[in-house]
Amino acid sequence: MVKIKRIYEEPDPSDGRRILVDRLWPRGRSKEAAHVDWWLKEIAPSVELRRWFGHDPAKWQEFKARYEEELEAKRPLLAELRALAAKETITLLYGARDQEHNNAELLRELLAG
């Protein structure tokens, strides 16, 4: 099972393994309070793509296409996440304010499909 959650929300035992999928550590959240089991920054969008997107919902479809292209080179990491999700609950953590337009949402979609 794959869930997503903002890292600023309180951890819950039902989260299972908590995996941060952002390249940068979220501002204002200590590592102790975040309870992150794995910081997988390698699977996050590139710095260039993240800056281009700027969390602009109008760019969401293009962001998804570009991010999926970047993820082609990261198939082993996606496979590792899929295998983990087949065995246990994982929660992909993200720092963005927008709960619908963020890389964790796209990763969840890809892992489910």
Q: Is the pTM of this model over 0.75?
A: yes
**For residue 29, what are the CA distances in angstroms to 5, 95, 105?**
14, 9, 20
Task: Inform me whether the pLDDT recorded for 82 exceeds 80.
Answer: yes
Rounded Cα–Cα distance for residues 43 and 21 (Å) = 6
**pLDDT class for 112, splitting at 50, 70, 90?**
confident
Average confidence (pLDDT) over 31-41: 95
Task: Inform me whether the pLDDT recorded for 113 exceeds 80.
Answer: no
Dig out the tokens for 15 from the structure.
């989260």
Q: Domain locations in the chain?
A: 2-112
